[in-house]
Structure 1
Amino acid sequence: MKKTTLLLFFISLSCFVDAQSFIGYLSDNYSGVHGLISNPANIADSRLKLDINLAGASGFAANDYYGINIFDSFKDTYSFNTDPKKTPTNDNNGLGNIDVLGPSVMFSLSEKSSIAVFTRGRFFFNANELNGNSIESLDDEDVADFNINEGNFDFLANAWAEVGITYARVIWDDRQNFLKGGASIKYLKGMGSIYGVGNNVTINYDEDGTDLGGGQTTGSISSTGFINYGRFDEFDNDNYEYEVPDNASGFAFDVGFVYEWRPDYYDYRSGGAFKNERALNKYKLKLGLSITDIGSINYKDGIKEGYNITNTGVSEDEFDNADDIGDFLNNFYTQTDAGVGYDVDLPTALHFNADYNFNGKFYLNLNTDFSVMKKSRKTANRVANNVSLTPRYESKWFGFYLPLTVVEGSGFRIGAGLRAGPLYLGSGSIISAFASDNNRQADVYAGLKIPFFHKDSKDKDGDGILDKYDDCPSKPGPVENNGCPWGDKDKDDVLDNEDKCPDEKGPAENNGCPWTDTDGDGIPDKDDVCVNTPGDAENNGCPKKVIEKVQKDLNEYAKVILFDYGTPVINQESYEVLNDIVKILKEYPNARFMIEGHTDSTSSSGWNQRLSENRANSVLKFLVDNGVNPSRLTAKGYGETKPIAPNDTKEGRALNRRVEINLIKSN
């Protein structure tokens, strides 16, 4: 009978707790259409251009009351009644779900937008503030009589199908910062629901409390409190043939945003422009925020009733012989409320997701799911608040993840999952379930799909420019030349991109341009002392008579450069001569000169060498200080090594103490 079904269902509710569907898999960048489950923005800029889900399901079971050792449970001697560890409290809570993603498809409309159409079947059940000690009393076979002090409690089960459409697009893209958003709208078809709310409920059962006469007895039930009880209109049918409610429907929507930080955006530059390579994950850090399942289902023909269940000595036979729970409640208790139609809220939840990309293959994902439905809302489904940290490896055809999750009311669990081509399967708790001798949770998901990935772009020549944008895909070349190597049109060994005169040969030191030769004597101006007068190479581009005159004038002036005795200090009487030398040097701005210092042999050779060097440098300094380019001058001391007269006479020694300024001839 339905009342028995309801009782078993009511008790079983405390054994389930739910968290997110498809744990681990939804963090995968190749999850395709599944990405819209947690955040509709995920399908924009997807790694898949088309994704067809054939069928997939995710189911969860966990509790804070009943725990088993999975390995021991396979033994023949294991008793599921006495061997499990039970943790009854006055406030055992539970909820759970089954999530079936039916035939669904996601496809890219363009580089910036995608769309998805999906079908989904879902079943949620919640139970709050159940007294685990009451369950313990019911489960004790050695005790015939029992007392249940349930107090306040509520439970809800709801099944529905949904058909939805999702649209997502890129909102902002400045290459380093990338933002996309998406929304889903869903039509909901209620498939059935039941709920109950109890206030100050107590139930006492006496196995022999009712005297049937003739020495026969049966149990009696005494109770206090209030119950509100609702169910879809087909629930009370006695033929057990399930029928979909006619007037149960609604709408819901999801909305979400995803931000990506792309500090290495320059790596995706090709052909001088930035390209959105959709086959690649370009982010270093991805952040997602979404809210899902905003909506409700209206069971227009649903039945809702309220009862004061305060009564004593109700016969157990009356309970057993009642047609259904409603018939029993109406016959023995006072109805306080009656009506038709009620709403069931969907499990509205807020999701935050952070994904860190280590190297394009290895990632670390942080995800939180937070229920925004108040517990005071008795006809509302809820997800369990949870936080999960998931390291994962992913590539186009294979992914593996290891979710570590903390679930409200269920504790810590470790799972594993994988994606291999069209197959995806996993569990959010399989590792912890087998590692624990008091496992109170289990979940699993699996499915098949047909993925169509965006093609990987090739870079055959390894120049950082993808082949489809590379004008020379077989030869490496820079972005500025569209992937082609630079040429050398004038064959001067200076590449055209650095050659200021690409049509004329020229040396690299002149940026590929030929040197200027103003007087046309074949000697570049940079080496030509007489820029405007043709000359010979051996005379630094000057006519021979010009060179002879310059050298003669310099020699005459140099003879009268005087120094203080025994020092490199120039005598002020020589300043006028030196200024005349400056004028001569400036007349030939391209000429280079050697300043030579010489001494007699009256002192030691070391002293003479140092003195000659210092005097030559003193002259060089004077010339530079008065505007001669220092790059044109060289100073050198020869000491006593180059006399021009004998050192054994006073006159000879005077001639040997000299400074010479000589034109440096080019080779």
Structure 2
Amino acid sequence: MLMCPRRKGIKFLLLGAVLWVTLGSDAQQFHALHGSPYSGVASMYNNPASPIGSSLHWNFTPLSFQVISSTNTLKLDSFQLFNNSRTVLDFPNTHQKRFFNQQLDINLFSGFMQMDERSAIGGGLRLRSYSHAISSPFQTSNDSTLTFNRFLQLNYQTPDFSVAGVSNSWLEGTINYSYIATDNEYHRLSLGGSLHLSANIGGAYTRNSRLSVLGQYDAARDDTSFVLTGGTVEYNYSQNFDEWNPNFDVSTNITQFLGKAPISLGLSAGLEYFIFKPSAQYFADETKIYNWKLGVSLMDLGNSQFKTGRYTGRFFNNSKTPITDSLVEQSIPDPFRAPALRDSLLSLFDTLVALPSQFNVSRPTRLVVNVDKNLGNDFYINAQLNINFFSTAQATKLRSRELSFFTLTPRWETQHFGFYLPVQINVQKQFWVGAAAKLGPLVIGTHNLGFLLKKDPYLNGGFYALVSFSPFQTKDKIPKRSRINCY
């Protein structure tokens, strides 16, 4: 059982990061399957041109999921893989800048089928969510009795505090078309595109800038109290959260919640280029064998649009009325009760500025370059580079981005079995070694074996699983009259 100690002092952090963690994976980044001719429809979410290049006539995936996180702030003390009864979610006792990234991808269903020898169509429905947060340097403690006053004493030399976070969640339907543009015995070029129709089901952000405090020593009590001397607190969330009514049943709430979700469009496009082995002429009863495969794709063009929630705003103080640490600790409620949070902030700050009626959060737009090398005897090696168009390091911009940067994956794979060893460097410059296996229709894997093997790991890594069904015989095994008539 995972335990989390109560920390009164963290109320101040929650004031700065009230929307730090909401629903928040790496856009279907099943690293083990990158470049695989047997990955089926999963490859559509990495390169829209991939389905027609698959070794399968058709493929159906009823369910897949992935969750991934990257942080230098949250860790599991006394963690054991098969016995977590003493595991505690904790903060490291360090002074540093903080970051936290969490991503979630749940594929509800997806599939593709070959229409003819040169084209394929596909589609799917999935839930995607990205959350990112950053902060200025400050000191934390693993003391479970930490109070707000004690937290400020630990940060007595810290000039000010700044925290920013953004969360972006949407339900996405995808329609995909891919086709072969050119094809001969030496090479093949395929192109593809995907149209995404999305219901933007949840968005939120917080910007808390230069919150500064002044310490005042009380000789009579031999204690130090603190007064807030400057800074602003700003938070926003999507309006459909206001539709959730505890007096209604779950079905009614979900209907109203989704009914208020704005709709938006997105695009993805890509190409794949195959170079075939010179000795492979593909006459009757022979199989297609590529030597190299190069993929280039532009993924997730678009953004999520949200209407501003009712209980939101930008708060700051114009008067000289002191805001003490004890008053802050008494006033800040559960941050997920929006009306109470706004009322509490109004009791602390004398100025409220209304926010614009809507806000946009960018999708994780990126350029993906993938190279796959066939080593023979069912061994391959794959390299993938993700180049994000946007950074989440700027608090003034509302952005989503992928965690993956560069991944190198050696694999042994047939249609029904496979073993994979993805090695990656992510955008936070963290080095992870993962592992995955394919057993028939099931693929399971982890992004970071270190998370499972360490005693006190940070929440770095993640897991993924996929259930996929396809024909027993690949189209590459069907006898061909000539290479030119393969499709």
TM bracket, shorter-chain basis: 0.7 to 0.9
Aligned partners of 2:84, 2:284: CA distance in 1, in Å?
A: 66
User: CA contact under 8 A between 1:171 and 1:181: conserved in structure 2?
Assistant: yes
Match of 1:214 in 2: none
Deviation at residue 106 of structure 1 after TM alignment: 0.4
* Structure 1 residues 352 and 59: alpha-carbon distance in aligned structure 2, compared to 1, 3 A threshold: same
Is the contact made by 1:423 and 1:447 (CA closer than 8 Å) also made in structure 2? yes
Q: Contact conserved, 1:170 with 1:181, CA < 8 A, in 2?
A: yes
Q: In structure 1, what is the equivalent of residue 304 of structure 2?
A: 297
More strand by share: 2
Q: In the alignment, does 2:440 pair up with 1:434?
A: no
Could you list the per-position Cα deviations for residues 617-660 of structure 1 after superposition, in whole angstroms to 9, with x for gaps in the alignment? xxxxxxxxxxxxxxxxxxxxxxxxxxxxxxxxxxxxxxxxxxxx
Residue by residue, what CA displacement relative to the aligned partner does 1:309-360 show, whole Å, maximum 9, x if unpaired?
5763252434349942222233432123422111121111221111110115
* Separation (CA, whole Å) in 1 of partners of 2:213 and 2:13: 17
Matches within 5 A, 1:128-147: 128-133=134-139, 135-136=140-141, 141=146, 144-147=149-152
Report the equivalent of 2:230. Answer: 224
Deviation, 1:56, is 0.8
Alignment of 1:332-371 (within 5 A): 332-333=348-349, 334-371=351-388
- Structure 1 residue 468, shift from structure 2 partner: 6.4
- Once residues 78 and 288 of structure 2 are traced to their aligned partners in structure 1, the CA distance between those partners, rounded to angstroms, is 40
SS at match of 2:34: helix
CA-to-aligned-CA distance 1:108-154 (integer Å, 9 cap, x gap): 11221111011010111011235452x44896627843326554432
Alpha-carbon offset, residue 251 of structure 1: 0.9
Pair 360,7 (structure 1): closer, same or farther in 2 beyond 3 Å: same
Aligned residue for 1:317, secondary structure, equals helix
- 8 Å CA contact retained: 2:363, 2:399: yes
Using structure 1 for the length normalisation, give the TM-score: 0.59
Aligned-partner Cα distance in 1 for 2:56–2:298: 24
Q: Is the 8 A contact 1:121 1:162 kept in 2?
A: yes
Give, in angstroms, the shift of residue 66 of structure 1. 3.5
Quickly say closer, same or farther: Cα 1:451–1:168, change in 2 above 3 A.
same
Q: SS state of the match for residue 33, structure 1?
A: helix
Q: How far is the alpha carbon of 1:205 from its aligned partner?
A: 9.3
Q: Structure 1: which amino acid aligns with 2:67? A: G
Cα distance in 1 for partners of 2:479, 2:240 equals 64
Structure 2 runs not aligned, ≥5 long: 1-9, 219-224, 247-252
Deviates more, 1:358-367 or 1:297-306: 297-306
Amino acid at match of 2:277: P
Which structure is higher in helix share? Answer: 1
User: What's 1:326 paired with?
Assistant: 342
Q: Superposed, which structure 2 residues align to 1:591-610 within 5 Å? A: none
Partner of 2:133: 127
Letter in 2 for 1:416: A
Instruction: Show the 5 A alignment for 1:464-543.
Output: 469=481
Q: State the distance in 1 between where 2:442 and 2:23 align.
A: 27
Q: Is 1:7 aligned to 2:24, yes or no?
A: no
| Whole-Å separation in 1 of the counterparts to 2:124 and 2:244 | 35
One-letter amino acid of the counterpart of residue 449, structure 1: S
Aligned partner letter, 1:244 = L
Q: How many Å separate the matches in 2 of 1:259 and 1:416? A: 27
User: In the superposition, relative to structure 1, how do residues 181 and 205 fare at CA in structure 2: closer, same or farther (>3 Å)?
Assistant: farther
How big is each residue's C-alpha offset from its partner over 1:463-521, in whole Å with a ceiling of 9 and x where there is no partner? xxx86649xxxxxxxx9xxxxxxxxxxxxxxxxxxxxxxxxxxxxxxxxxxxxxxxxxx
Quick one: distance in 2 between partners of 1:347 and 1:468?
41
**Letter in structure 1 aligned against 2:362:** D
CA drift of 1:408 comes to: 2.6
Task: Give the SS at the match of 1:166.
Answer: strand
Structure 1: segments with no counterpart, 5+ residues: 209-218, 272-276, 459-465, 471-478, 480-667
Structure of greater relative contact order (alpha carbons < 8 Å, 6+ residues apart): 2
Deviation at 1:230, TM superposition (A): 1.2
- Write out per-residue CA displacement over residues 564-616 of structure 1, whole angstroms, 9 at most, x where no aligned residue: xxxxxxxxxxxxxxxxxxxxxxxxxxxxxxxxxxxxxxxxxxxxxxxxxxxxx
In the alignment, which residue of structure 1 is the partner of 2:3? Answer: none
Contact 2:404/2:427 (8 A) holds in 1: yes
Moved more, 44-53 or 145-154: 145-154
Q: Following the alignment from structure 1 to structure 2, what is the Cα–Cα distance between the partners of residues 468 and 170?
A: 17
Equivalent residue runs for 1:205-244 within 5 Å:
222=228, 224-235=230-241, 239=245, 243-244=257-258
The CA distance in 1 between the partners of 2:215 and 2:57, in whole Å, is 63
Q: 8 Å contact 1:102–1:119 — kept in the other structure?
A: yes
Identity of aligned residues (%): 21
Aligned to 2:282: 268
* SS of corresponding position for 1:44: helix
1:238–1:203 distance in 2 versus 1, CA, 3 Å: farther
Equivalent residue, structure 1, for 2:61: 53
Tell me the amino acid that sits aligned with residue 256 of structure 1: G
Asked if 1 retains the 8 angstrom alpha-carbon contact of 2:16 and 2:164, the reply is no
TM-score normalised by the chain length of structure 2: 0.79
Structure 1 residues 224 and 90, CA gap change in structure 2 (3 angstroms): farther
Distance 1:354 1:87 in 2: 42
Q: Which has the larger radius of gyration?
A: 1
Residues 35-56 of structure 1 show CA distances to partners (whole Å, capped at 9, x for unaligned) of 0111111111311111111111
Aligned counterpart for 1:103 among listed residues 109, 127, 133: 109
- Report the counterpart of residue 51 of structure 2 in structure 1: 43
CA distance in 2, matches of 1:344, 1:406: 25
After TM superposition, give the deviation of residue 378 of structure 1 in Å: 2.5
Distance 1:165 1:126 in 2: 28
Residues 423/467 of structure 1: CA separation in 2 closer, same or farther (3 Å cut): closer
Whole-angstrom distance in 2 between the partners of 1:101 and 1:247: 19
Which amino acid in the other structure matches residue 432 of structure 1?
Answer: G
Secondary structure, counterpart of 2:31 in structure 1: coil
Cα distance, 1:371 vs structure 2: 1.4
Q: Which residue of 2 aligns with 1:444?
A: 463
Q: Is this contact kept in 2: 1:305–1:339, CA < 8 A? A: no
Once residues 245 and 137 of structure 1 are traced to their aligned partners in structure 2, the CA distance between those partners, rounded to angstroms, is 43
- Is the contact made by 1:114 and 1:167 (CA closer than 8 Å) also made in structure 2? yes
Amino acid at match of 1:341: Q
Cα pair 1:428 1:443 within 8 Å, conserved: yes
1:393 alignment counterpart? 412
Q: Distance in 2 between matches of 1:36 and 1:207?
A: 62
Q: Contact 2:73–2:100 at 8 Å: present in 1 too?
A: no
SS in 2 for 1:358: strand
Q: Provide the C-alpha distance between the structure 2 equivalents of 1:57 and 1:95, rounded to a whole number of angstroms.
A: 17
Q: Is the 8 A contact 1:16 1:95 kept in 2?
A: no
Matched, 1:416 2:416: no
Opposite residue 252 of structure 1, the aligned amino acid is G
